[in-house]
C-alpha cells in the first residue's frame, strides 16, 4: 500500500492508514467462506499532519456518524471478490469523502423577491381560495 494522494498539497502517508481483511458476505459463491476479501480501512483525521483545521472540522461534522469514539474513521468494502480491488475501492471512497468537504459552502446573499414572483404567489393564493370556495354548499336561488 502506498501514500494516499488527496490533492497536490495534501497526502495521507501510508503509516496514517491501517487496514485489515476479513470474510465477506458479498459475492464469491463457494469461495466466500474461504477467502478474506472484505476490507476495513481505519484513519484518524485528528492526528493527521497538514490537514487544514477548517477542512477537518467540515469533515468531522459531515461524517460524524462514521467516526468512532477513538476518533477513527472506519470504512468497509466488500463489493468485489478481490481483496486488492476492495482496498482500492475503500481508498477511493476516502478520497471522495475528503474532497466533498474540502471547499467551504458559499454564504447565501440576502435577496428580495421580484415583483413578478410576488404577483405569481398572490395569484396562486387567489386561485386556490376560489377553488376551495367552490367546494361549499351551493347558495339558494331566490
Cα dist. 88→40, 70, 80 in Å?
A: 11, 24, 11
Res. 41: pLDDT tops 80? yes
Q: What is the 8-class DSSP label of residue 89?
A: H
pLDDT at 142: 61
Q: What is the 8-class DSSP label of residue 140?
A: P
Question: Hey, what's the cell of 89?
Answer: 475501492
The full set of domain ranges for the chain reads 4-100
Distance CA 58, CA 77 (A): 24
Number of helices (H) and strands (E), helices first, in the chain? 3, 5
Q: Is 132 helix (H, G, I), strand (E, B) or coil?
A: helix
Distance CA 84, CA 65 (A): 26
Render pLDDT for 47-101 as a digit per residue (tens, 0 to 9). Answer: 888 888 899 999 999 999 999 999 899 999 888 878 899 999 999 999 999 999 9
Cβ-contact 3, 43 below 8 angstroms:
no
> pTM above the 0.95 mark?
no
Radius of gyration of the chain (CA): 27
Cβ-contact 86, 37 below 8 angstroms:
yes
Q: Give me the chain's average pLDDT, please.
A: 87
Options 3.30.160.20, 2.60.15.10, 1.10.8.420, 2.60.40.2470; CATH of 4-100: 3.30.160.20
CB atoms within 10 A of CB 45: 19
Amino acid at each position: 500500500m502506498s501514500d494516499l494522494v488527496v490533492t497536490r498539497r495534501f497526502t495521507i502517508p501510508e503509516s496514517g492508514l491501517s487496514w485489515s481483511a476479513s470474510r465477506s458476505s458479498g459475492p464469491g459463491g463457494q469461495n466466500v467462506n474461504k477467502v478474506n476479501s472484505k476490507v476495513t480501512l481505519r484513519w484518524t483525521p485528528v492526528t493527521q499532519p497538514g490537514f487544514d483545521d477548517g477542512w477537518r472540522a467540515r469533515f468531522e461534522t459531515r461524517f460524524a456518524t462514521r467516526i468512532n469514539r477513538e476518533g477513527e474513521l472506519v470504512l468497509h468494502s466488500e463489493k468485489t471478490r478481490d481483496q486488492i480491488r476492495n482496498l482500492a475501492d475503500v481508498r477511493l471512497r476516502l478520497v471522495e469523502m475528503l474532497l466533498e468537504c474540502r471547499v467551504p459552502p458559499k454564504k447565501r446573499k440576502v435577496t428580495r423577491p421580484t415583483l413578478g414572483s410576488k404577483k405569481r404567489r398572490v395569484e396562486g393564493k387567489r386561485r386556490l381560495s376560489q377553488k376551495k370556495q367552490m367546494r361549499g354548499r351551493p347558495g339558494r336561488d331566490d
